[in-house]
Homo-oligomer: A and B are copies of this chain.
Amino acid sequence: MVRWEPGAEGRLQAAALNLYAERGFEQTTTADIAQSVGLTERTFFRYFADKREVLFAGQEHFEQVFLDGVAAAPAGASALDVVASALEAASAYFPDERRQHSRVRYAVISANPGLQERELLKMATLADAMARALQERGVDEAHAVLAAETGTTVFTVSYRRWMAEGEERSLAAVQADTLADLRALVLAAG
């Protein structure tokens, strides 16, 4: 009999992050995570393939937020403006209340090369999805790929700045500054 546990997925995710931050990712087992919230390891595996994937649940939703931003850009917007629209949409996914959670998750990931690799693949997958969405808007492949990869770089750099200790600006504000910095960088080049 498979029992449905209300909120089990979210409870397992929160418990996993706490344990990874306290004990280290390597030192935490799926049994530890499940037991800490009174669930079985079998329930854990009903929601997540392994203890790494707990940190990456929701990738489809994460990507969709950016793609909604692409769709929201006005017809005729330049490729980078479309990407900027995606980034603006994404900033709503990371309100300031989420900053502390993001910091803890980022610290856990930064301490483990395998997790870093997985995070990088998540961002590469996002860039591919945005490049396809730009092509569907009529941007040729080469420019779509470059705009999507550049936008993903702007997001990644901004996201890291947003999580820095002492940073108080919203992600939207940091992203606007990073885009302005990119413009200045390109204009200063010979």
Binding site for B on A (CB under 8 A): 77-81, 84, 113, 116-118, 120-121, 124, 142-143, 145-147, 149-150, 152-154, 156-157, 160-161, 178-179, 181-183, 185-190
Q: Which residues of B contact A188 (CB under 8 A)?
A: 78-81
Top 10 nearest A-B pairs (CB, nearest first) are A117-B117, A120-B120, A80-B189, A78-B188, A186-B186, A149-B153, A117-B121, A80-B185, A153-B153, A81-B189
Known contacts A120-B124, A124-B120; is-contact A182 B150 (Cβ 8 Å):
yes
Tell whether A157 pairs with B145 under 8 Å between CB atoms, given A78-B188, A113-B121.
yes
**Is the CB–CB distance between B183 and A186 below 8 Å?**
yes
Q: How many copies does the complex hold?
A: 2
Q: How far is the CA of A187 from the CA of B147 in the complex (A)?
A: 12
> Cβ of B84 and Cβ of A189 under 8 Å apart?
yes
> In the complex, what residue of chain B is closest to A117 when comparing beta carbons?
B117
Q: Are A146 and B142 in contact (CB under 8 A)?
A: no
Partner of A150, one of B77, B78, B185, B190: B185
Closest Cβ of chain B to A143, distance in Å, is 6
> In the complex, which residues of chain B have a beta carbon less than 8 angstroms from the beta carbon of A189?
78, 80-81, 84, 179, 183
> 23 A-B Cβ contacts within 8 A?
A77-B190, A78-B185, A79-B185, A79-B188, A80-B185, A80-B188, A80-B189, A81-B188, A113-B121, A117-B121, A120-B120, A120-B121, A142-B181, A143-B185, A146-B153, A146-B154, A146-B157, A147-B185, A150-B150, A153-B153, A183-B186, A183-B189, A186-B187
Q: For A81, what are the chain B residues with a Cβ–Cβ distance below 8 Å?
A: 188-190
A121 CA to B178 CA, complexed, in Å: 23
Q: Kindly list chain B residues whose C-beta atoms are within 8 Å of the C-beta of A149.
A: 153, 156-157
